Amino acid sequence: MCTELAHIENLRELIIDPPVILVDERQKLFFYRGIPIMLRPISFSLMLLLAITTKEFVMREVIYNHLWPGETNYQGTNKPYERQISDHKRKLIAEIRKGMTGKAEIAAGEVETLISTRSKVGYMLNLAKENMLILRKGDFLMVAFMTLMELDRFLSDLLFDAPVVRFLW
């Protein structure tokens, strides 16, 4: 399934009832309501962080450190990144809205309410965990293992349910 994600136009080609959001960290793919949305790398990184911590406010400093790892070198109490984080949230919403244009009907304000803001604190993705699927980088091995286990079970069922063939020599 993972290799096919990059080439589909709608998740419904692979999943009957896709989640509202699907994020594939390894391939840097983002789907909203089954529609693939091209996100800039920094927008993808912000969405991934919010998706991992869905329904929890992520502090602005955590967001900043996630988007721009390394030491913060600023003097005094003025935080030069405050505006950058707000701008990236606004751009992320705009990218999702643009990606949905002409592909699916979206209610007025639907995309804007996807991310809640707590002034001077941080952001939260307004989506229940059951409406999301996050494929992490390390999940590929787990998916491959689960596929092999399912294949093993299928072959075992096939072999044990098959009529016994006896050869008389």
> Domain span at residue 64?
2-137
Is residue 47 within 8 Å of 161, Cβ to Cβ?
A: no
Residue 153 forms part of a structural domain: no
What CATH number is associated with residue 57?
1.10.10.10
Instruction: Of 38-42, 51-55, 130-134, 138-142, give the lowest mean pLDDT range.
Output: 138-142
- Rounded to whole angstroms, how far apart are CA atoms 36 and 21? 10
Q: What is the mean pLDDT of residues 32-40?
A: 96
Residue 26 forms part of a structural domain: yes
Residue 79 forms part of a structural domain: yes
Residue 47 forms part of a structural domain: yes
User: Number of folded domains in the chain?
Assistant: 1
Closest CA relative to residue 21, chosen from 42, 55, 51, 56: 51
User: pLDDT category, 71, cuts 50, 70, 90?
Assistant: low
Task: Evaluate if pTM is beyond 0.85.
Answer: no
| Count of beta carbons in the 10 Å neighbourhood of residue 18 | 19
Residue 110 forms part of a structural domain: yes
Of residues 14 and 45, which shows the higher confidence score?
A: 45
- Rounded to whole angstroms, how far apart are CA atoms 74 and 71? 9
With 60 as the cut, is the pLDDT of residue 97 above it? Answer: yes
Residue 168 forms part of a structural domain: no
The per-residue pLDDT for range 115-149, each reduced to its tens digit, is 999 988 999 999 999 999 998 876 655 556 556 66
**Whats the size of the chain, residue-wise?**
169
